[in-house]
Amino acid sequence: MINRIVRMSFDPHKVHEFEALFEAVKDKIAAFEGCEGLILLRDAKHPNVFLTYSYWQSEMHLDAYRYSDLFKHTWQATKALFNDKPIAWSCIEAVKVK
């Protein structure tokens, strides 16, 4: 299992555009082969900062999504709304409690 976390900071005036974009694509991303789940988180102190947390069966599945037309179109539209460079991590579970 691969956990993918992407931190994104948006121009505060463009947050609603990002939320609408995410709403339009979230079900397509979640239905992508190998995706086991997708969560959108919002920073509690910085309302223009969001994180996506997605779960993938394997790195191969994540890479297939990252090279898909769905990702390319979504990422291009998302990048236009940023006010800072995004940060991404691919992680595997080290310890899980409960």
Give 19-65 pLDDT, tens digit per residue: 999 999 999 999 999 999 999 999 999 999 999 999 999 999 999 99
Whether the CB-CB separation of 36 and 53 falls below 8 Å is answered with no
What's the pTM value of the predicted model, to 2 decimals? 0.94
- Which residues are within 8 A (CB) of 23 and not within 5 positions of it... i.e. 6 or more apart? none
Just give the CATH number of 2-91: 3.30.70.100
Does residue 96 carry a pLDDT above 90?
no
CA pair distance 46, 84, nearest whole angstrom: 13
